[in-house]
Amino acid sequence: MYKRLKIIVLTCIFILLALNQYFQIIPVFDNVAHDFLIRERTVSRDIVIVGMDERSMNEIGTWPWTRDYMAAAVEKLAEYEAGAVGVSVLYDMYGADERYDQALCLAAAKIDTLVLAGMIIFDETNEKQITAADYIEPFEDLSNVTLTGFMNLIPDTDGRLRNALTTVAYGDIQLHSLPFEVYRVYCRNMGIAENIVPLQNGSFPIDYAAKQGGYTRVSLWGLINDEYSAGMFKDKIVLIGPYATGISAENLYTPLERGSYTYGVEINANIIQNLIEGNFKEHAPHWLDFSVLAVLAVLVIVLTRRMKPVWVFVLTLVLSYAVFLLSRMFYTGFDIILLVGDCIIFLCLAFIADLVIDIFTAQREKQHIQGVFGRFVSPDIVKELIRGADIQLGGVLRCVTLVFVDIRGFTAFSESNPPEKVVSMVNRYLELTSSSIQKNNGTIDKYIGDATMAIFGAPNELPDHALMACRAAWAMKVGSVSLREEILRDYNVDLQFGIGVNTGYAIVGNMGSEFRMDYTAIGDAVNTAARLEANSGKGQILISDATYQLVKDHVKVEDLGILNVKNKQIGIQIYELLGV
């Protein structure tokens, strides 16, 4: 039943995560797994960042600056023959001083490798794809002499930028991003063939090469003041942009940054390096992601059916690591991004479900053992079963006290009364023997018709097992007085117990076969106790000398001498128990 429950639960978890994997309802699982795949690597030396940094702000003054400084930087890069120049600053309106606007326009007109920033206003009514409702370009005089590319960056819901938005439809026009336009200009200027970019909804995954500070960077103030050689910029991709807090809002977290953000100009550098290298990462087709998750689910369902929780935990760790290695292999070897976050979450949830079901199963099994076995064996054996004692065939030699109880006069009563009354009467006597045994820490071995066999001192150690057996026997005799009078009055039959008690060594344990066993005791001590019971009279309790020697300071007895029994060459010294 519980194996079936486990399969059902794991299947439900698989279905939910498969749906999440396809529809990306909660993308955080796959996003985090994807982030661990990205590693820093050697950055391109063909990319140089000109930072509008703290030094420049200290020299020029607080932002915004007059546009003659940007004009000076552009003119210097034209002089140094930069391969392509991208400026991550939006000049969408004319400035307060027309002279500075004209200076920037004249500088831009002198260089045919310059790309300035534009800004997309997205169409929020189109839920199927990303489109532009409007496009903000540099002011007219400037846009007439230069190329533009949008500077929009769209992070995921957790604030990290993982995809480079490259192309957006604006009516019949295809708008391109600033880094993509810079890359195209660079290829045209250097005579390099452009790499074909595999876009999904206008974007491609960014395989970051560096985090903040990874690329070659110089200060804009140093550039316009001739602090750097021309060779540093010749035939290079030069990206000018804010590199100080408070200048730009395009500072975002990336998979490589765990606690700090990366400037937008550095993100553009990473995107351009991806475009130059041409090793674009692509998301795996849905069927491949689903296949990996399905194979993993089947493995878990099959392998965990007979595993203990500790081994399920080990299996979870091993499979999680294997899934990560698989995703790493696809990422580096085939440029494919597998959505393995859901796979790892499946493994974790499968382990938790397995643990909860095992705990629930164990509790139900304990209740089942208590409910079923508690009616037939003593609570001590039930406790051993619940503790997980290894129930196997075999036994141990132990000194115990055996008690046999039989109802004298039962044969006559059963012959003259209907079965219903016989069974009712027997149950009342057996209830008395059972309660007397268990109250004195004995183990009910078995019921044999109207007889009862009990063991004291097993399975749990009982130092005063002989005394406990005598007390149980005496409790049966005392408790049967009122029952005897009732039976005598109603049925005119005198029913009394005959009890035999003996102490000695016996083999105690599980006897029988692998599929049917009983906890019992065998040996001469058991046979002797049975012989004493057989020779006891109505209402008489016979104990052996072995028992008497252990309890003589606590009981009253009458010496009955030697009892000769069948198959024993030496008689047994016996006593009648008269009080405890």
What does the block give as tokens for 15? 């279905």
Q: What is the pLDDT along the chain (580 residues), one digit of tens a residue?
A: 567 888 899 999 999 999 999 999 999 999 999 999 999 999 999 999 999 999 999 999 988 999 999 999 999 999 999 999 999 999 999 998 999 999 999 999 999 999 999 999 999 888 778 999 999 999 999 999 999 999 999 999 999 999 999 999 999 999 999 999 999 999 999 999 999 999 999 999 999 999 999 999 999 999 999 999 999 999 999 999 999 987 766 688 999 987 788 999 999 999 999 999 999 999 999 999 999 999 999 999 998 887 888 999 999 999 999 999 999 999 999 999 999 999 999 999 999 998 998 888 878 777 765 654 565 455 655 666 566 544 455 678 999 999 999 998 887 778 778 888 888 888 888 899 999 998 998 988 888 888 999 999 988 789 999 999 999 999 999 999 888 888 788 777 788 899 999 999 999 987 877 666 677 899 999 999 999 999 999 999 999 999 999 999 999 999 999 998 877 778 899 999 999 9
Three-class SS of 384-435: HHHHCCCCCEEEEEEEEEEEEEEEECHHHHHHCCCHHHHHHHHHHHHHHHHH
CATH for the stretch 388-579: 3.30.70.1230
DSSP H or E run through 115: strand 114-122
Q: Are 202 and 168 in contact (CB under 8 A)?
A: yes
Interatomic CA distance for residues 290 and 295, integer angstroms: 9
- Whole-angstrom distance, CA of residue 3 vs CA of residue 417: 50
Output the CA angle 25-29-30, nearest 5 degrees.
90
What are the tokens at 297?
A: 């689910």
Gap between the Cα atoms of 79 and 205, Å rounded: 35
Q: Are 48 and 215 in contact (CB under 8 A)?
A: yes
- Residue 115: both structure tokens together: 């790309």
In the chain, what are the domain boundaries? 2-24+284-369, 39-281, 388-579
Across-strand partners of 132? 122
Strand-pairing partners, residue 134, are 121
- CA distances 415 to 13, 195, 200, 418, 419, Å, are 64, 104, 93, 8, 9
Report CA 349 to chain centroid distance, whole Å.
Answer: 4
